């Protein structure tokens, strides 16, 4: 009798093990008759039947991705490479999140993304990459490569016409040699916290937001904003900009909404457009408050649209602001000095 019980227990264990390896059966009433393919290392919740959650599992490799999966979350693991063919069965992938791993460029196959013609978002930030992966899908709209060890991006984005967001902050890029021109739909570019010594020569015409803070940029090219009429937000804080490095009217363009020049070496307030709404000049060496930087004439109809003005941590005080500023800067709630 004991032998029979032992045999029965063995059979039950084997059956349960088989069920775990082969399929995970959905318990939801509407799916009771259908099995869902999902690797043991991950979770595939019934509420999100096309999502596969494998984050924070101490994984060292990418598990098998079933063909029905569109969204795969693999962040915060210990994955060092992407093996060739791992996504060949999952050609419907739309999102792939691989942030906070240990990916190295040498362990990513050149053809690993080739078959992913529907991929929309690819997050590879906070890894150990030294260059941008090759043959990225043309379908991508959002690519995040921040906080890696990338040194060069020359001619790596020529066939990505749909990309609208590119994050490259926190790398070691010193120069950009035309590597962005193929990104004809790019609207947001973040290259802050790199090693740039100058503003790149060419950006896509559709660019709206440009983040270049925490570099070593010393000057802004003359006519810079006229070449990019859609630019609305520019951040150049924590650089080495001086008055000599800013051509007279370089920021006097009607499309600009926000300009951040804080933590530089400016001694004067640069000339800005009346349409500018947010101006950050704190932590410079500014010695005087020049109202003409905001309004060339002051009357009932001509005034600045500025709402936020920061001038604190400079060499001026509230006494240096003329009374006429109340007419020119009538929309500013307060001036920080």
Phi/psi of residue 115, nearest 5 degrees: -85, 0
Q: What pLDDT digit, counting tens, does each position of 172-227 carry?
A: 999 888 778 789 999 999 999 999 999 988 899 999 999 999 999 999 999 999 88
In this structure, the answer to whether residues 43 and 112 fall within a common structural domain is: yes
**What pLDDT, on the 0 to 100 scale, is given for residue 124?**
98
Q: Is the dihedral of CA 62, 68, 69, 70 positive or negative?
A: positive
Q: If we measure between CA atoms, which residue out of 300, 293, 292 comes closest to residue 279?
A: 293
In a domain, 52, yes or no: yes
What whole-number distance in Å separates Cα of residue 247 and Cα of residue 25? 67
Does the pTM exceed 0.85?
yes
In a domain, 247, yes or no: no
In this structure, the answer to whether residues 43 and 72 fall within a common structural domain is: yes
In this structure, the answer to whether residues 26 and 53 fall within a common structural domain is: no
**What pLDDT, on the 0 to 100 scale, is given for residue 16?**
35
Beta strands in the chain, from DSSP E residues, in sequence order: 24-25, 35-36, 51-53, 71-73, 95-97, 121-123, 142-144, 165-167, 188-190, 209-211, 233-235, 258-260, 278-280, 308-310, 335-336
**What pLDDT, on the 0 to 100 scale, is given for residue 153?**
87
**What pLDDT, on the 0 to 100 scale, is given for residue 64?**
93
In a domain, 256, yes or no: no
In a domain, 120, yes or no: yes
Q: What pLDDT digit, counting tens, does each position of 51-87 carry?
A: 999 999 999 999 999 999 999 999 999 999 999 999 9
In a domain, 68, yes or no: yes
In this structure, the answer to whether residues 31 and 83 fall within a common structural domain is: no
**What pLDDT, on the 0 to 100 scale, is given for residue 174?**
93
The last residue of a domain, from among 124, 145, 167: 124
Residues in a beta bridge with 165: 142, 188
List the domain range (segments joined by +) for residue 14. 1-36
In this structure, the answer to whether residues 13 and 46 fall within a common structural domain is: no
In this structure, the answer to whether residues 96 and 22 fall within a common structural domain is: no
| 4 CB neighbour count, 10 Å cutoff | 8
Contacts of residue 7, defined as CB under 8 A and 6 or more positions apart, other chains included, come to: none
In this structure, the answer to whether residues 25 and 57 fall within a common structural domain is: no
Contacts of residue 275, defined as CB under 8 A and 6 or more positions apart, other chains included, come to: 254, 255, 256, 257, 305
Query: What is the H or E stretch that residue 9 is in?
Result: helix 2-22
In this structure, the answer to whether residues 43 and 32 fall within a common structural domain is: no
**What pLDDT, on the 0 to 100 scale, is given for residue 143?**
98
In this structure, the answer to whether residues 55 and 12 fall within a common structural domain is: no
In a domain, 212, yes or no: no
In this structure, the answer to whether residues 46 and 111 fall within a common structural domain is: yes
**What pLDDT, on the 0 to 100 scale, is given for residue 259?**
98
The last residue of a domain, from among 96, 124, 152: 124
In a domain, 295, yes or no: no
Question: What does the buried/exposed string (b/e) look like for 84-99 if buried means 16 or more CB atoms within 10 Å of the residue's CB?
Answer: eebbeebebbebbbbb
How many domains does the structure of the chain reveal?
2
| Parts of the chain with a pLDDT under 70 | 1-35, 300
In a domain, 272, yes or no: no
Q: Residue 61 belongs to a domain with what CATH number?
A: 3.80.10.10
Structure token digits, residue 237: 């804080």
Residues 177 and 156 sit within 8 Å (Cβ to Cβ) = no
């Amino acid at each position: 009798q004991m032998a029979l019980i032992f045999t029965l227990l063995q059979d039950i264990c084997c059956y349960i093990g088989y069920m775990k390896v082969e399929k995970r059966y959905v318990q939801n009433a509407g799916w009771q008759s259908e099995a869902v393919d999902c690797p043991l290392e991950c979770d595939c919740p019934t509420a999100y039947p096309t999502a596969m959650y494998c984050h924070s599992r101490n994984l060292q490799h990418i598990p098998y991705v079933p063909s029905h999966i569109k969204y795969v979350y693999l962040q915060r693991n210990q994955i060092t490479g992407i093996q060739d063919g791992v996504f060949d069965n999952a050609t419907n992938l739309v999102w792939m999140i691989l942030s906070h791993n240990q990916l190295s460029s040498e362990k990513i196959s050149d053809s690993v993304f080739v078959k992913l013609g529907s991929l929309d978002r690819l997050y590879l930030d906070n890894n150990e990459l030294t260059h941008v992966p090759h043959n990225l899908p043309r379908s991508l709209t959002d690519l995040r490569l921040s906080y890696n060890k990338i040194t060069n991006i020359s001619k790596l984005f020529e066939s990505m016409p749909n990309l609208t967001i590119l994050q490259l902050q926190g790398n070691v890029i010193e120069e950009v040699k035309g590597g962005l021109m193929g990104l004809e739909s790019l609207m947001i570019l973040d290259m802050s916290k790199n090693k740039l010594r100058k503003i790149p020569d060419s950006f896509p015409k559709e660019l709206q937001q440009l983040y270049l803070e925490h570099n070593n940029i010393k000057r802004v090219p003359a006519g810079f904003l006229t070449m990019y009429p859609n630019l609305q937000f520019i951040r150049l804080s924590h650089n080495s900009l001086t008055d000599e490095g800013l051509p007279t009217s370089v920021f006097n363009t009607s499309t600009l909404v926000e300009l951040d020049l804080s933590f530089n070496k400016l001694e004067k307030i640069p000339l800005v457009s009346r349409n500018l709404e947010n101006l950050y000049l704190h932590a410079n060496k500014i010695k005087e408050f020049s109202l003409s930087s905001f309004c060339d004439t002051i009357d009932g109809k001509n005034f600045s649209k500025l709402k936020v003005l920061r001038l604190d941590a400079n060499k001026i005080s509230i006494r240096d602001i003329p009374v006429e500023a109340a007419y020119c800067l009538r929309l500013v709630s307060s001036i920080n000095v």
